[in-house]
Amino acid sequence: MGYSVTDTRPVFEGRAFKVRIDSVRAPDGRVRPIEVVEHVGAVTLVAVEGDGSLYLVRQYRQPTREDLLELPAGTLGAGEDPDECARRECREEIGLAPAALERLGGFFMAPGYSTEYIHVYLATGLTPAPLPANEDEDLHVERLTLAQIDALIRSGELHDSKTLAALYLYRLARGL
């Protein structure tokens, strides 16, 4: 495409992400600033019981100022393999360990301004094996059927993008 970065300037470094401004030269020679949120990446889990029901978590999200219903998910630790992160997050968020993990795909969360890439996993063969939740999380686990989830999507109550995208990948993989 002919785009090149001519300069990068760090702007902010926080606990969860960094922000930088890249100077980008377009093919026509113009240089423009692009704000970029650097994120290490994350995983989200479609955790399915033998009866086909799925686990979701409800939690307060300050940026939206509401409780959101979401699939279990979490940020990769420094140098952490996405498979290991998925196993850990499943235990932290819903208290269950998967006997099997299957990678369903992945996606960029908001490629217009962020580097965050989310790996999507199917978790099955779930058995109790809780790990302590993160201190900054107050999660409420809900177990729902696909029909219940569909109704929540149609009503607009379930509107977390990573959850919607991961459910789409799950349905494609399983022909649902």
Q: Tell me: the pLDDT tens digits for 41-52?
A: 999 999 999 999
- If residue 80 lies in a helix (H) or strand (E), which one and from where to where? none
Q: What is d(CA 72, CA 89) in angstroms, rounded to the nearest whole number?
A: 7
In this prediction the pTM is 0.94
**How far is 112 from 136, CA to CA, in rounded Å?**
28
Per-residue pLDDT band at 173 (split at 50, 70, 90): very high
Q: pLDDT (tens digit, 9 = 90+) per residue, 51-78?
A: 999 999 999 999 999 999 999 999 999 8
- Dist CA 42 CA 82 (whole Å): 7
| Beta-carbon contacts of residue 15 (< 8 Å; ≥ 6 apart) | none
Four-point Cα dihedral 61, 112, 105, 56, nearest 10? 10
Q: In which residue are the tokens 């650097």 written?
A: 38
Query: Looking at residue 134, what is its pLDDT?
Result: 78
Confidence band of 135 (pLDDT split at 50, 70, 90): confident
CB 109 within 8 A of CB 116: yes
pLDDT tens digits, residue range 10-22?
999 998 899 999 9
The pLDDT of residue 137 is: 78
pLDDT > 80? residue 1: no
Average pLDDT on 86-98 reads: 97
For the chain, where are the alpha helices, taking DSSP H only?
A: 82-94, 146-155, 161-174
Predicted local distance difference test score (pLDDT) of residue 57: 98
Predicted confidence (pLDDT) at residue 29 exceeds the cutoff of 90: yes
pLDDT value, residue 99: 98
What is residue 94's three-state secondary structure? helix
CB 18 within 8 A of CB 12: yes
